[in-house]
Structure 1
Amino acid sequence: MSEPNTLIQRNLWETPWGYLESFFIGLGIIITGFFLEVFTGQTSSLTLTYPYNIYFLIIYIVLLYVAYKWFSSYQIIRWLTKVPASITSIVLVTTLVMVMGIIPQTTSDNAVINTLGLNRMTTNWAFLLTLFLFLSCLGLITIKRILQFRWSNTGFILNHLGLFMALLSGILGAGDVQRITIDTYEGKPNWIAKDIQNNPVELPFAFYLKDFLIEEYNPKLALVDNTSGSLVHNDGKNLYLITPKQQYNFNEFEVVIDEYLPSSGRVLNKYVSVNEVGSPPSAKLTIKDLVKDTIITGWVSSGSFRSPYESLKISDDYSIVMTIPEAKKFSSDIDILTKEGERISTVLEVNKPFLFNGWKIYQLSYDDRMGKWSNLSVLELVKDPWLPAIYVGIFMMITGALYLFWIGNKITKK
């Protein structure tokens, strides 16, 4: 007697939907997104600003709750709360994020990339719809576990609710992020900033720049081809830091730095130390041609906005030049003036922002042409009111992970 066939053949789209149906739904969403991208072009951005992002958040959460509470018998809702939908949405989002990492998110010369919006994935319809699918799965599963609450589900709820909060806050809060710059000059208060479109933005407080400071590295020496003007490489290196009494070998030339002046001025046939605005660095060099056995002595200077640079010709083919000193550190000593008459003093440095009234204030740049004599400091102000919600979501995920680790450790011991 033959064995009964225990394998049950299931037709496509027969309930419950599995991974194959989930794949087709996800693929259909991505194709729909690309069609929308083709027909709408760069107008596909769905950035919401306050208060519309708040309205959307409330309506979206209410709809998820209503969908699970009263429409959970519908196949689409049942599918969204099952593993195949979750796994498929995670895979699709991850794939699109990988595309975002591979294709530069700037204007492309490739017509296909521009048409499909692959170079602006954060506002791409396909990415947004796929992310919406993932968030809907995440939200419905979280609501399901909350409504069926048990203490053993605490870690699961914290992880999923934290991820839901962090992602949704990041998406909805993108429209409320303010990023502006303000030019501050020494001794002059300013409260008019500029946005990305260079439109003026009046601030409720002013900045007063007391002093702008720059620390610079010593300049460097380089050997230049007199014909092409390009730097000559010497064993893979073409720049050498200027240090008094230091000796370097440039090809067949032996170079000795006899003297270095950080701030100097030209007087007759030499440089002398001066302390004036725009006084460039200079160095006295002794160059020995090891092939011809000749010695040349002379000065080089990087120049500045008020003084021309000076190179030293050491042969018919080569000259030695001094590079412009690079900034090691620059900072702004500022006062923040409020309408109430309060004065807050702080020193801004690169990558060390100062938090004031919800704004993160960064040291951005200065007048490159003036260099260390710049009396201009450019500050950047960034405000993201949704950032605390993102941090709360991340904290919830970490707490949930620690809770699951603790519970798992207790089970293992038992």
Structure 2
Amino acid sequence: MAKNIYLILLYPIMAAVIIQYFAGNFPFHFFEFPLNIILGAIWIYSVYMLLHKNNCTNNITRVLVSPETTAFSLFLFVCGTLVIGLFPQLSAIEAEQKEGILGQLGFYNFMSSWIFVSILFILLSHLAAITIRGFKSRKKKRWRFLLNHAGVWLALFGGFMGSSDFITARIPVFFDKENNEALTMEGKHFYLDYDLQLTGFDADYYQNGMPKSYVAEVKVSDRHSGNSSQISLEVNHPYEYKFGEDIYLVSYDTRSDKPQYCVLQIVRQPWKYIQLIGIIMTIAGAVGMFIGGPQKQTSKQ
């Protein structure tokens, strides 16, 4: 039975390898909000119905909740993270220029590859199945199990489904004019719904002339309401302009004696709080297991 489960799990991985080789990376942009919400709800409901109706009697349900799936999906996930750690992860444009079999298989932008998406799909489906089954259990101290598994699932699910809505773009901001045209890491133009203009800049330097720290004063003007506000940006101190959208100061004009512009990075990640909730749930479950200790098995004499 274990060999059959491993073979079943290998089928989507092999299909992903073939699609990746011939079609390139997964088209996350196609699944932007609200389509990702709809598909996510259908996905969870499908797993629930498989467990509810079949009660672990058919092959698909057995695969979803089997210990072999736990081991194999975690093994695949570790392999995927090793690829991400061992190979330089480039932007989509730079990764497309890589030649050879590794470039074709998306190793240089692996988180967006069909292979990694299929690994996450297997792992998340498995976590969803055992979490749903855990809710139906009447065993005591099951809340620790649920917090751990539901937390890990929620953190990964938020990152997986939120990839479609995740945007990283950079924009030059000038003293003499407002600007709302940014460029994404994929090389596409991205227009903000607010204008940015540099109103002040201050830099502190080491004795050798290298910048020690720098602060930019930026005016943010909402294009819809017409309201404007003044914000102060410093390296590694982002400003959250609105829910799930942060503004970072990343660089400035180093060619002029007095900088004429600075470069800001816009990071739009509306699912990050869902991931944060998942992480908090996982930590709470781990603390509960540490405080409560292992569940003792008792038997009647």
TM, length-normalised to structure 1: 0.64
Q: Tell me, yes or no, if structure 1 residue 195 matches structure 2 residue 179.
A: no
Letter matched to residue 50 of structure 1: F
Structure exhibiting the larger radius of gyration computed from Cα positions: 1
Letter matched to residue 99 of structure 1: V
In structure 2, the CA distance between the partners of 1:344 and 1:155, relative to structure 1 (3 Å rule), is same
Which deviates more, 340-349 or 329-338? 340-349
In structure 2, the CA distance between the partners of 1:208 and 1:126, relative to structure 1 (3 Å rule), is closer
Q: Tell me, yes or no, if structure 1 residue 389 matches structure 2 residue 271.
A: no
Partner of 2:27: 45
Q: Counterparts in 2 of 1:62-101, with a 5 A limit?
A: 62-72=45-55, 73-101=57-85
Q: Distance in 2 between matches of 1:363 and 1:36?
A: 38
Aligned 8 A contact 1:64 1:136 in 2:
yes
1:261-300 Cα offsets, whole Å, 9 max, x none, are xxxxxxxxxxxxxxxxxxxxxxxxxxxxxxxxxxxxxxxx
Query: Unmatched 5+ residue regions in structure 2?
Result: 297-301
Partner of 1:366: 252
Aligned 8 A contact 1:81 1:137 in 2:
yes
Q: Distance in 2 between matches of 1:200 and 1:178?
A: 9
Letter matched to residue 199 of structure 1: H
Q: Counterparts in 2 of 1:111-150, with a 5 A limit?
A: 111-150=100-139
Aligned 8 A contact 2:218 2:232 in 1:
yes
Which residue, 198, 207, 217 being the options, matches 2:206?
217
Q: Secondary structure at the match of 1:394?
A: helix
Partner of 2:152: 163
Q: Counterparts in 2 of 1:338-349, with a 5 A limit?
A: 338=222, 340=225, 342-349=227-234
Which residue, 197, 211, 221 being the options, matches 1:327?
211
Q: Secondary structure at the match of 2:293?
A: helix
Q: Distance in 1 between matches of 2:168 and 2:108?
A: 22
Query: Unmatched 5+ residue regions in structure 1?
Result: 1-16, 220-324
Letter matched to residue 394 of structure 1: I
Q: Distance in 2 between matches of 1:392 and 1:135?
A: 16
Q: Distance in 2 between matches of 1:109 and 1:63?
A: 38
Which residue, 9, 22, 43 being the options, matches 1:60?
43
Letter matched to residue 44 of structure 1: F
In structure 2, the CA distance between the partners of 1:410 and 1:51, relative to structure 1 (3 Å rule), is closer
CA apart distance, 1:337:
3.3
Which residue, 11, 14, 31 being the options, matches 1:31?
14
Identity %: 25
Aligned 8 A contact 1:22 1:88 in 2:
no
Q: Distance in 2 between matches of 1:66 and 1:353?
A: 43
CA apart distance, 1:70:
0.3
Q: Distance in 2 between matches of 1:375 and 1:111?
A: 42
Partner of 2:170: 181
Q: Distance in 1 between matches of 2:69 and 2:236?
A: 42
Q: Distance in 2 between matches of 1:63 and 1:397?
A: 24
Q: Secondary structure at the match of 2:51?
A: helix
Q: Distance in 2 between matches of 1:182 and 1:126?
A: 32
Letter matched to residue 399 of structure 1: A
CA apart distance, 1:360:
0.9
Letter matched to residue 101 of structure 1: G
Which deviates more, 145-154 or 134-143? 145-154
Q: Counterparts in 2 of 1:283-298, with a 5 A limit?
A: none
Partner of 1:260: none
Partner of 1:105: 89
Count matched residues. Answer: 285
Q: Secondary structure at the match of 1:176?
A: coil
CA apart distance, 1:191:
4.4
Aligned 8 A contact 2:166 2:270 in 1:
yes
Partner of 1:280: none
In structure 2, the CA distance between the partners of 1:124 and 1:164, relative to structure 1 (3 Å rule), is same
Which structure shows the higher strand fraction? Answer: 1
Aligned 8 A contact 2:28 2:164 in 1:
no
Q: Distance in 2 between matches of 1:388 and 1:403?
A: 22
Aligned 8 A contact 2:180 2:196 in 1:
no
CA apart distance, 1:369:
1.2
CA apart distance, 1:130:
2.1
